[in-house]
């Protein structure tokens, strides 16, 4: 075959192979064009999931008569003119490929009127790019693009389209994402003549949260924290789902960089790391986050569909993301945020204690808040508890009980009561019941203690490694050959955890030293769990990842078991410690460790008006 230049129509169809996969990709390109045109209001109308018709109408800047033809020519764009522009591009599009590609695989028509034009003009596209004469058309300022019969001329691609419902599902996903990216733009979506979405523009936070609720569900809004942080020229804001509101799929993770939706590895890694301590394996957090930075610091030209970006200061961005989210999640701790099930309006901060609450203080609570008079007694009880249950330093380390964060103390001073209140009783050997200024607090004893143990192990590990202690009677256990091998290879990791294990046969392992913190626990169960994780993760994972997971395992085995009786003093000590420990609102598995039932909620249970 001779070498020849491809006809424009074919070039565009090849380009369409990259950009236009299904109706949803057309919708994405058209919506982005409307946003780039500065529209305040966009209407989308679809038939048959977009396969038969996609019509988009916007009130943006419009296209001048003499540019209509150019808009349909390949590599023609009004958005950049030089490589310099490309480096600091702030628009969503810039390749000038979308309209000609779409026109080459559908019946496309374009009608528009620019701001200063006396009337509108229209043009049909056919992918051939011959200069054509626009015809006059009645049109308000803005643009309408109509795309009919997608892939009508490429049966092979049309065959790969799925059912109308599936295709519409994909479209909806795109529309949702765009709607999340620009709260200031009003959006409407109609499918088969039925209105599907009506999203008014939303500036204030409540209006934005209403849009969020519409798109992600009210649950998400009720179980997320709003953040807005600025550091080193970066601004990160948005909604972070509480770890307790976790999902089986990563389907509620939205990240925008300068209002462009991205799926970026660096970003996901930073987010995953920030959540890793508070989420159970295999569960996914939910978030809607916006990163804003100088466009010159991001390269959007890294991917044809522009899903990925390249950060020029990748390390900085990663650190800022991780740090901010990590802190926010750590702050979602006892006494500082509403317990996960408390209704949004009932957060402790929103409910100043009335006289009635103060009357309800338990006897003895009138004494200065925990920390001054009581600690000696508590310390003794804790020490006794520790001796009894071998949880040793887990408790002793907190003596005298930590004084509390400034916020916790301020709250205590205001109400005369610490945020998590004072213990009343233990229920079923599982729950601690406590009374605070707002009503009843229920604590899952094991989950809470597990969290405290974990945090303490982590702090200890970071500070000076874990102190280990030899076992008076070493424990031997039968293991699999691969576990025995893992012991050989994992000596260093194990030593770092205060464990000394040795293989004493092809399928036998002896445990000689364990962390002092855990010496009183079930050594065999601990060793087995650690071995299982060592085998599963081997050396392929980051050491810290593995360590944290091992710590979580160890914490689980070193924590008070359900069914154990605690005295009031012990329960109070636990509550005080929860108040001062990072992330104690979540157990290591992402379940809540405590919940608040406000007096209001209790009254409602009894149909008692207040």
Q: Choose between 32 and 549: whose C-beta lies nearer to ligand ADP.
A: 32
Q: Interface with ligand ADP includes 129 (CB under 6 A)?
A: no
Using the rule CB under 5 A, give the single segment among 25-33, 204-212, 405-413, 507-515 that binds Mg ion.
Answer: 25-33
Q: Choose between 26 and 289: whose C-beta lies nearer to Mg ion.
A: 26
Q: Choose between 80 and 297: whose C-beta lies nearer to ligand ADP.
A: 80
Q: Interface with ligand ADP includes 121 (CB under 6 A)?
A: no
Q: Interface with ligand ADP includes 405 (CB under 6 A)?
A: no
Calpha distance 388→288 (Å, rounded): 47
Among 20, 24, 27, 37, binds ligand ADP (CB under 6 A): 37
508-515: strand order across its sheet: 468-478, 508-515, 500-505
Each residue of 80-97: b (16+ CB within 10 Å) or e?
beeeeeebebbbbbbbbb
Q: How far is the CB of 540 from ligand ADP (least distance, A)?
A: 41
Q: Interface with ligand ADP includes 34 (CB under 6 A)?
A: yes
Q: Interface with Mg ion includes 33 (CB under 5 A)?
A: yes
Among left, alpha and beta (phi > 0; psi -120 to 50; other), residue 233 is left
Among 33, 181, 398, 405, binds ligand ADP (CB under 6 A): 33
Which helix (H) or strand (E) segment holds residue 181: the answer is helix 164-181
Residue window 135-174: x/- pattern of binding to ligand ADP, with contact defined by CB under 6 A: --------x-------------------------------
Using the rule CB under 6 A, give the single segment among 61-69, 193-201, 519-527, 570-578 that binds ligand ADP.
Answer: 61-69
Handedness of CA 479, 485, 488, 491 (dihedral sign): negative
Q: Choose between 36 and 164: whose C-beta lies nearer to ligand ADP.
A: 36
Cα 282-286-292 angle, rounded to 5 deg: 125
Q: Interface with ligand ADP includes 93 (CB under 6 A)?
A: yes
| Site for Mg ion, residues 96 to 155, rule: CB under 5 A | 98
Among 57, 95, 139, 379, binds ligand ADP (CB under 6 A): 95
On whether the CB atoms of residues 212 and 221 are closer than 8 A, the answer is yes
Burial label, 16 (beta-carbon count in 10 A; 0-12, 13-18, 19+): buried
Q: Choose between 257 and 555: whose C-beta lies nearer to ligand ADP.
A: 257
Name the phi and psi angles at 527, rounded to 5: -60, -40
H helix runs in 466-567, sequence order: 481-489, 491-496, 523-537, 543-558
**CA–CA distance from 326 to each of 254, 262, 354, 450, 593 (Å)?**
18, 21, 34, 19, 18
- Beta strand residue intervals within 258-323, DSSP E: 260-261, 287-292, 298-299, 310-311
Q: Choose between 96 and 515: whose C-beta lies nearer to ligand ADP.
A: 96
**CA–CA distance from 378 to each of 25, 276, 417, 426, 520 (Å)?**
64, 33, 17, 17, 21
Q: How many residues bind ligand ADP (CB under 6 A)?
A: 21
Q: Interface with ligand ADP includes 25 (CB under 6 A)?
A: no
Q: Choose between 109 and 347: whose C-beta lies nearer to Mg ion.
A: 109
Cα 518-523-526 angle, rounded to 5 deg: 85
Q: Choose between 68 and 501: whose C-beta lies nearer to ligand ADP.
A: 68
Calpha distance 506→481 (Å, rounded): 6
Three-class DSSP category at 321: helix
Mention every residue, 6+ apart, whose C-beta is less than 8 A from residue 51.
23, 149, 150, 161, 164, 167
Q: Interface with ligand ADP includes 105 (CB under 6 A)?
A: no
Q: Interface with ligand ADP includes 484 (CB under 6 A)?
A: no
Using the rule CB under 6 A, give the single segment among 71-79, 115-123, 325-333, 459-467 that binds ligand ADP.
Answer: 71-79
Q: Interface with ligand ADP includes 71 (CB under 6 A)?
A: yes
| Site for ligand ADP, residues 436 to 475, rule: CB under 6 A | none
Q: How far is the CB of 146 from ligand ADP (least distance, A)?
A: 12
Q: Interface with ligand ADP includes 60 (CB under 6 A)?
A: yes
Cis amide bond preceding 400, omega within 30: yes
Q: Choose between 78 and 476: whose C-beta lies nearer to ligand ADP.
A: 78
Q: Return residues touching ligand ADP (CB under 6 A).
A: 29, 33-34, 37, 58, 60-63, 71, 77-79, 93-99, 143
């Amino acid at each position: 075959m001779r070498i020849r230049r491809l006809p424009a129509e074919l070039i565009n169809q090849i380009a369409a192979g990259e950009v236009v996969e299904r109706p949803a990709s057309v919708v994405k390109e058209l919506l982005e064009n409307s946003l780039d045109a500065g529209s305040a209001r966009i209407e989308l109308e679809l038939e048959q999931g977009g396969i038969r018709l996609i019509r988009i109408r916007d009130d943006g800047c419009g296209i001048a008569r003499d540019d209509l033809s150019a808009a349909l020519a390949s590599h023609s764009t009004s958005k950049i003119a030089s490589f310099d522009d490309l480096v600091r591009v702030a628009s969503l599009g810039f390749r000038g490929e979308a309209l000609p590609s779409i026109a080459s695989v559908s019946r496309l028509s374009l009608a528009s009127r620019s701001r200063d034009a006396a009337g509108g003009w229209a043009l049909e596209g056919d992918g051939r790019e011959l200069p054509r004469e626009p015809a006059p058309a009645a049109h308000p300022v803005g643009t309408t693009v109509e795309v009919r019969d997608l892939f009508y001329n490429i049966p092979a691609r049309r065959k790969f389209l799925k059912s109308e419902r599936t295709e519409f599902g994909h479209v909806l996903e795109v529309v949702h994402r765009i709607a999340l990216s620009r709260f200031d733009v009003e959006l409407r979506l109609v499918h088969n003549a039925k209105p599907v979405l009506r999203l008014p523009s939303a500036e204030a936070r409540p209006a934005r949260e209403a849009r969020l609720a519409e798109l992600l569900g009210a649950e998400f809004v009720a179980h997320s924290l709003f953040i807005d942080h600025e550091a080193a020229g970066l601004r990160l804001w948005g909604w972070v789902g509480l770890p307790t509101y976790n999902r089986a799929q990563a389907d509620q993770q939205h990240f925008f960089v300068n209002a462009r939706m991205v799926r970026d590895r660096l970003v996901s890694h930073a987010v995953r790391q920030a959540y890793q301590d508070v989420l159970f394996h295999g569960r996914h957090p939910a978030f809607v986050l916006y990163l804003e930075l100088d466009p010159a610091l991001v390269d959007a030209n890294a991917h044809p569909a522009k899903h990925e970006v390249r950060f020029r200061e990748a390390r900085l961005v990663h650190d800022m993301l991780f740090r901010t989210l990590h802190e926010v999640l750590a702050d979602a701790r006892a006494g500082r945020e509403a317990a996960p099930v408390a209704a949004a309006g009932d957060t402790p901060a929103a409910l100043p204690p009335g006289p009635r609450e103060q009357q309800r203080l338990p006897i003895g609570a009138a004494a200065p808040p925990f920390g001054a008079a009581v600690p000696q007694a508590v310390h003794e009880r804790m020490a006794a508890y520790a001796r009894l249950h071998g949880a040793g330093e887990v408790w002793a380390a907190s003596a005298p009980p930590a004084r509390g964060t400034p916020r916790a103390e301020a709250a205590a001073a205001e109400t005369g009561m610490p945020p998590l209140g004072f213990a009343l009783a233990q229920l079923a050997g599982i729950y601690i019941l406590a009374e605070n200024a707002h009503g009843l607090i229920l604590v899952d004893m094991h989950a809470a203690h597990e969290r405290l143990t974990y945090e303490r192990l982590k702090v200890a590990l970071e500070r000076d490694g874990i102190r280990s202690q030899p076992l008076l009677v070493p424990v031997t256990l039968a293991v699999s050959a691969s576990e025995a091998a893992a012991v050989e290879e994992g000596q260093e990791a194990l030593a770092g955890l205060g464990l000394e294990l040795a293989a004493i046969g092809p399928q036998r392992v002896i445990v000689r030293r364990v962390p002092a913190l855990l010496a009183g626990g079930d050594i065999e169960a601990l060793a087995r769990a650690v071995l299982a994780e060592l085998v599963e993760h081997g050396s392929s994972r980051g050491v810290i990842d593995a360590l944290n997971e091992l710590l979580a395992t160890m914490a689980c085995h070193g924590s008070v078991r359900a069914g154990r009786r605690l005295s009031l003093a012990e329960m109070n000590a636990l509550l005080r410690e929860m108040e001062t420990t990072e992330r104690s609102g979540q157990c290591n598995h992402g379940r809540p460790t405590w919940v608040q039932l406000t007096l209001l909620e209790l009254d409602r249970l009894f149909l008692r008006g207040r």
